[in-house]
Amino acid sequence: MARNEQRPHGAQRPTDRQTSRPGTRSPGHRGHRDEQPSKGRWSRDDRERRGQSGPGRPTDGASRRPNWTPPEERNRDDRRGPAFRTRGSAQGGRDHQRDDRVHRGERPRSFDRARDEQHGRGRAGSDARDDRGGDRRFDDRRPARDDRGGDRRFDDRRPARDDRTFGDRRPARDDRGGERRFDDRRPARDDRTFGDRRPARDDRGGERRFDDRRPARDDRTFDDRRPARDDRTFGDRRPARDDRGGDRRFGDRRPARDDRSSSDRRPARDDRGGDRRFDERPRRDSTYYPSADSKPFAPKQDVVLDRLEATSIRAEDVEGVSFTDLGLGTGIAAALKTLGAPAPFPIQAATIPDVLAGRDVLGRGRTGSGKTIAFGAPITELLTRNRPERREIGRKPRAIILAPTRELAQQINHTIMTLGRAVGVFTTVIVGGVKQDRQVESLRRGVDIVIGTPGRIEDLIEQGRLNLGAVEIAVVDEADHMCELGFLEPVQRILRGTRHGSQKLLFSATLDSEVATIVREFLPTPAVHEVAGEDQATSTIEHQVLVADRFDKDAVLEQIVRNPGRIIVFTRTRAYADRLAEQFSDAGIDSASLHGDLNQSQRNRALEKLRRGKIDVLVATDVAARGIHIDDVALVVQADPPDEYKTYLHRSGRTGRAGSNGRVVTVIAPARRKRMQELLQRAEIKAPMIPVRPMSDVLDSLTVPPVSAGVEPELAVAASE
DNA sequence: AAAAAAG
């Protein structure tokens, strides 16, 4: 009954085995993956199926492990029975250990150890904890936070935005627009505005082919987009568009904002509690923000920025294309296969050739669509070219990848390390929260790719232990987020430290003009790619909004997490995450919390427990909202609604990955309905609002229910609606 | 009011 056997999320198992046995090429090791071809999700069947059912594949590297099972197969064969028994006092889930269980249990440990050794990552043990736990909490954290809170948060934000809005915009437009963007856009837009748009959208995934295609494709980015936006913003948009006209790309922010201000901002603000902080902000010396009083600080209005125009690729365009066709070497192609990615996903097929060609690239592909490999594979390939015959000790890294959280950096490393190992390209993780010793040591030995978070990277640079002068390729993952306040400046400094003219790649599921500042400075003439047809119609995620009285909320949430299957609950605050996790545990539901108040080993442990099936419920803050891949998350619960539509999309994206089915429920108070509606519109998601109370039946069937033989899970899901 | 990211 082991639910685990049904969920091959033992992502690391293979790796573990390999690392513990040198000579992975020999039988029994990774090199022999062929023995488990069924694990790859790209069997012929899958491919055919995929052809018609939209995005049917895992995207992030982590999900493509050798023993990854196609979602379709899981659904068909596994998603019934014990794994889905209702969770409760029985604590399902950790009782049974199958054969593979054993491996699984061991796996993590050796995996970690191997990784630590190779990458200098702090051992998850007590050391790490000691450092951080102690100091940080007290000395560092508080102060740090206070500072930030005070100066940074306030001062920076406003100004930051203003700058952008102002100084940047204009110039930005002129510069950039100038060449490429501009030209393309104009024409594109005009045409599109009408005729193309509609059609483009409708068929987006579908038939789109006919005559429009050519034209459509080039401009499509736009076409699709525009319409989409209109719907979302409704009132505001139209006007906005007209004004903005042609050049909008980046520059449009102003107009956009203005328009929006009225409808979007207001509401947002009011709810938010508006002035709270306002009075506390003495630090702000100034009156720099005149309007501040009316709107103390809307940290971030949920503004919908323009999506960058891009060239769209369609799933059909990728049929029959192999990684080697795209320009990757056979070594990397083979490694990709072991990762469960025998053939490229659309976003990969779109960006890999351009990355290999040395172009700057902006890539947008929805959550779980394969972005990590989209940049990881080609940069690994590039590093095998023009390299010294010998790997020198202490050589400087030639590529760097920035991520917003430590966990994401580690996950990206896991994928790229696997690819790199196949061709002698070495990686290391440089993140905070752990001792720097091992990291420094690995740098001293010499690595080719550094993957990390901005803070520690800058720290080591300042210490003279990391030199980015030889970096030829820099990647910013979750780029739009990395361009937000607090991240932008460090990112800029780091990018400026790379070799002059280095290639830059920006990726995100929600890539929009928020990255304009970076693009202007670092990506003079980027190729912009996205995947066509990524709308709700082709999504495998179902959304619902549950409206509950605030006093019923905790009971409702508890009932929700009793549903079988793996569940991630998002909260707005760290304290609430802890409180809920505790409540669930007290109620007999094994769970853990994950947020920034925990030390790194606690964070790693919480994630690992979920990955290994030790727990089925993880209560996290937005630290886990972006990029983190966990196999088979049956349900994402938003205990607090997000403030931004992008956050909604990223949190939701923890489920339904690589074409698997997923569900998302957002619990809101009645007073929040309107705001929620608006947010959903911006996210272009339609979700029913369902009033609920404790004991409501609907709360008991939120994850895929046990399927009786012969009944397809999809049908069961539909029926349960 | 909050979250993340260095010590």
How many Å apart are CA A553 and CA A558, to the nearest integer? 9
Over residues A437-454, the mean pLDDT reads 96
Residue-wise pLDDT for A351-377, tens only, equals: 999 999 999 999 999 999 999 999 999
How many Å apart are CA A363 and CA A527, to the nearest integer? 8
Q: Where are the beta strands (DSSP E) in A67-225?
A: none
Q: How many CA atoms lie within 13 A of A1 on its CB side?
A: 10
Burial class (CB in 10 A: 0-12, 13-18, 19+), A9: buried
Nearest nucleotide by C1' position to the A575 CA atom = B2
Q: What's the Å distance between residue A555 CA and nucleotide B2 C1'?
A: 23
How many Å apart are CA A533 and CA A312, to the nearest integer? 9
Asked if the model's pLDDT at residue A411 lies above 80, the reply is yes
What domains can be seen in chain A, in order of their start residue? 126-293 (no CATH), 311-531 (3.40.50.300), 536-720 (3.40.50.300)
Nearest protein residue by Cα to C1' of nucleotide B3: A622
Structure-block tokens of residue A362: 């902006």
Residue-wise pLDDT for A171-217, tens only, equals: 333 333 323 332 233 333 333 322 232 233 333 333 222 222 222 33
Q: What's the Å distance between residue A602 CA and nucleotide B4 C1'?
A: 16
CA angle centred on A715, ends A709 and A716, rounded to 5°: 65
> Max CA-CA distance within chain A?
70
Of A448 and A719, which is predicted with more confidence? A448
Nearest nucleotide by C1' position to the A625 CA atom = B3
Tell which strand B nucleotides have any atom below 7 Å from a protein Cβ: 1-7
CB A314 within 8 A of CB A205: yes
What confidence tier does A703 reach under pLDDT thresholds 50, 70, 90? confident
Q: What's the Å distance between residue A492 CA and nucleotide B5 C1'?
A: 14
* Per-residue pLDDT at A704: 58
Helix (H) or strand (E) holding A313: strand A311-313
Strands A566-570 and A541-547, sheet pairing: unpaired
Nearest protein residue by Cα to C1' of nucleotide B7: A140
Over residues A660-685, the mean pLDDT reads 95
Structure-block tokens of residue A185: 């856009």
Q: What's the Å distance between residue A457 CA and nucleotide B7 C1'?
A: 13
Residue-wise pLDDT for A2-61, tens only, equals: 333 333 333 333 333 333 333 333 443 433 333 333 333 333 444 344 333 333 333 333
Burial class (CB in 10 A: 0-12, 13-18, 19+), A90: exposed
Q: Is A660 helix (H, G, I), strand (E, B) or coil?
A: coil
A503-508 β-sheet, strand order: A311-313, A527-531, A361-364, A503-508, A473-477, A399-402, A449-452, A427-430
Nearest protein residue by Cα to C1' of nucleotide B2: A573
Strands A427-430 and A449-452, sheet pairing: parallel
* Strand B lies under 7 A from the Cβ of residue A463: no
* Per-residue pLDDT at A9: 35
Q: What's the Å distance between residue A191 CA and nucleotide B5 C1'?
A: 44
Nearest protein residue by Cα to C1' of nucleotide B5: A455
Over residues A692-705, the mean pLDDT reads 87
Q: What's the Å distance between residue A430 CA and nucleotide B5 C1'?
A: 12
Nearest nucleotide by C1' position to the A621 CA atom = B3
DSSP assignment of A545-604 equals EEE--TTTHHHHHHHHTTSSSEEEEE-SSHHHHHHHHHHHHHTT--EEEE-TTS-HHHHH
Q: What's the Å distance between residue A401 CA and nucleotide B4 C1'?
A: 17
Mean pLDDT, chain A, rounded, equals 68
CB A205 within 8 A of CB A537: yes
Other beta carbons within 10 Å of A394: 10
Asked if the model's pLDDT at residue A639 lies above 50, the reply is yes
Q: Is A389 helix (H, G, I), strand (E, B) or coil?
A: coil
Of A689 and A5, which is predicted with more confidence? A689
Tell which residue, A305, A351, A322, A331, has the closest CA to residue A503: A351
* Strand B lies under 7 A from the Cβ of residue A154: no
Nearest nucleotide by C1' position to the A140 CA atom = B7
How many Å apart are CA A154 and CA A277, to the nearest integer? 10
Helix (H) or strand (E) holding A721: none
* Per-residue pLDDT at A301: 65
Structure-block tokens of residue A682: 């911006």
Tell which residue, A49, A104, A26, has the closest CA to residue A613: A104
Q: How many CA atoms lie within 13 A of A367 on its CB side?
A: 25
Burial class (CB in 10 A: 0-12, 13-18, 19+), A386: exposed
* Per-residue pLDDT at A310: 85
Q: Is A634 helix (H, G, I), strand (E, B) or coil?
A: strand
Q: What's the Å distance between residue A168 CA and nucleotide B1 C1'?
A: 30
Nearest nucleotide by C1' position to the A454 CA atom = B5
Burial class (CB in 10 A: 0-12, 13-18, 19+), A167: exposed
Nearest nucleotide by C1' position to the A594 CA atom = B3
* Per-residue pLDDT at A303: 75
> Which amino acid appears at position A635 of this protein?
L
CB A155 within 8 A of CB A283: yes
Other beta carbons within 10 Å of A151: 12
Structure-block tokens of residue A28: 């029994």
Q: Which residue, chain included where needed, has tokens 């049974």?
A: A96
Q: What's the Å distance between residue A621 CA and nucleotide B2 C1'?
A: 10
What confidence tier does A309 reach under pLDDT thresholds 50, 70, 90? confident
* Per-residue pLDDT at A637: 97
* Strand B lies under 7 A from the Cβ of residue A580: no
Asked if the model's pLDDT at residue A676 lies above 90, the reply is yes
Q: Is A322 helix (H, G, I), strand (E, B) or coil?
A: coil
* Residues paired with A514 in a beta bridge: none
Q: What's the Å distance between residue A277 CA and nucleotide B1 C1'?
A: 8
* Strand B lies under 7 A from the Cβ of residue A596: yes
* Per-residue pLDDT at A92: 35
* Per-residue pLDDT at A659: 83
Structure-block tokens of residue A35: 């023995």
Q: What's the Å distance between residue A631 CA and nucleotide B3 C1'?
A: 24
Return the DSSP state at A234: G
Other beta carbons within 10 Å of A493: 13
How many Å apart are CA A229 and CA A555, to the nearest integer? 37
How many Å apart are CA A246 and CA A219, to the nearest integer? 13
* Per-residue pLDDT at A537: 87
Cα dist from A589 to A27, A558, A680, whole Å: 42, 9, 30
Over residues A211-230, the mean pLDDT reads 30
Residue-wise pLDDT for A590-618, tens only, equals: 999 999 999 999 999 999 999 999 999 99
Please give residues of chain A from 642 to 671 whose alpha-adjacent beta carbon (CB) lies under 7 Å from any atom of strand B.
Answer: 643
Q: What's the Å distance between residue A137 CA and nucleotide B6 C1'?
A: 13
Asked if the model's pLDDT at residue A436 lies above 50, the reply is yes
Q: At what angle do helices A406-423 and A600-612 cross, to 10 degrees?
A: 70
Q: What's the Å distance between residue A169 CA and nucleotide B5 C1'?
A: 27
| Residues in Cβ contact with A605 at an 8 Å cutoff, skipping those fewer than 6 apart | A124, A592
Other beta carbons within 10 Å of A624: 26
Over residues A622-630, the mean pLDDT reads 96
Q: Is A530 helix (H, G, I), strand (E, B) or coil?
A: strand
Percentage above 70 pLDDT, chain A? 56
Least confident of A225-234, A334-343, A400-409: A225-234
* Terminal C-alpha separation, chain A: 27
How many Å apart are CA A325 and CA A306, to the nearest integer? 33
CB A528 within 8 A of CB A225: no
Nearest nucleotide by C1' position to the A430 CA atom = B6
Structure-block tokens of residue A449: 């790719």
Other beta carbons within 10 Å of A273: 9
How many Å apart are CA A653 and CA A638, to the nearest integer? 12
Nearest protein residue by Cα to C1' of nucleotide B6: A455
DSSP assignment of A92-135 equals TTSS---HHHHHHHHHHHHHHHHHHHHH-PPPTTHHHHIIIIII
How many Å apart are CA A366 and CA A373, to the nearest integer? 14
Of A141 and A547, which is predicted with more confidence? A547
| Residues in Cβ contact with A617 at an 8 Å cutoff, skipping those fewer than 6 apart | A87, A561, A566, A567, A568, A569, A581, A584, A589, A590, A591, A592
CB A239 within 8 A of CB A259: yes
Q: Is A635 helix (H, G, I), strand (E, B) or coil?
A: strand
CB A212 within 8 A of CB A196: yes
Structure-block tokens of residue A594: 């994950």
Over residues A164-172, the mean pLDDT reads 32
